[in-house]
Structure formats: C-alpha cells, structure tokens
Amino acid sequence: MEEGLAQKTVIRLSQLSKGELGHGLESITITAIQIVDIRHGFLRCLFTVPSTVTDQDGNWHAGAVATLIDTVGATAVYSAAGYVHVSVDFTISFYSTAKIQEEVEIVAKVVGYRGELPCVEVEIRRKGNGELIALGRQWMYLRKNISQVQSKL
C-alpha cells in the first residue's frame, strides 16, 4: 500500500471519530478507536466500548455496533480505492455482546470485487479471549464524486 494512501486513511478515520467528517453519528460510535495495522484493503483496530453507546443494561447497543462495522468497513475500502463509496448491501450477524469499558478488536478486509463493487468483511472479537461478537459483510459501489449520489431518505 502506498504510504500516502495509508496516511490519508488514518486521517479520514480520525476525522470521522472527532466529528470533523461525516454526520456525527460516526463520531459517537467510534470515539477513541485506535488503528493497530493498516494495509491495502485491510484494517485492524482496537476499541474500548464507551458508556455513550450502550443500552440500559450496559451492553454495547446493536445500532452502535452496526455503525462501527459500516464505518470501519468503509475505511478499509477507502484504503484500497482512495475515495468514498456507497453501501449497496449490508448484513450483520450478532453472536455475543460487549459491556462498558470492554476492549474489542476489529478486523476489516476487502475480500473481493465484482466490477466496481468491492466486498468487505468486518469481524469484532473480544480482545481477552477472541470470542466473536459480530460479523458484518458489506458490498459497496465505488463512487469518486459522492455528491452525485442522491439519498433515498
């Protein structure tokens, strides 16, 4: 992976986590995410679950997990393509949950392409014992100019 694209990817994820980029939801759900390893189409991060993304029982909220998977997966695609993209298919399987202040490891990797559609898989595992918490798969459409895409909302 070229050094410039790796640095741009790190900066992009940092901007998302600080609310400087995106819609703000990303910054709430990925606050203090730490990149451990970054390569072409691959991202490994550590994340400590903050209280702001948990439910009344102290469990990591499924919606926050989904947003994190979407954001980290998109960042892995960005590390391969160098520009933004639009999700066209997104599935998540939940196997367990995490509690407030629990540390998890997130691995996102681009696993294939079909034309302009890259597929990324994101695994979230408990850092202590490697137990699988969630597994996401996402197909994205590569789009150099995101302003040309109109939202369905």
Mapped onto helix, strand or coil, the DSSP state of residue 83 is coil
- CA proximity to 76, closest of 148, 6, 17: 6
CATH assignment, 3-148: 3.10.129.10
In degrees, rounded to 5, the angle at the alpha carbon of residue 81 between the alpha carbons of residues 12 and 41 is 80
* pLDDT for residue 12: 73
* pLDDT for residue 144: 63
* pLDDT tens per residue, range 33-44: 899 999 999 999
> Cα(16)–Cα(76) distance, rounded to whole angstroms?
14
* pLDDT, mean of residues 128-147: 85
Strand order in the sheet with 103-114: 34-39, 42-48, 103-114, 117-126, 132-142, 85-94
Query: Residue 127 pLDDT more than 80?
Result: yes
Q: Comparing 79 with 147, which gets the higher pLDDT?
A: 79
Q: Which residue has the tokens 């399987």?
A: 93
Q: Residue ranges of the domains in the chain?
A: 3-148
* pLDDT tens per residue, range 51-81: 999 999 999 999 999 999 998 998 899 888 8
> Cα(102)–Cα(120) distance, rounded to whole angstroms?
25
* pLDDT tens per residue, range 15-38: 777 766 666 666 677 777 899 999
E strand spans, the chain: 34-39, 42-48, 85-94, 103-114, 117-126, 132-142
Most confident of 13-22, 84-93, 133-142: 133-142
Query: Residue 109 pLDDT more than 90?
Result: yes
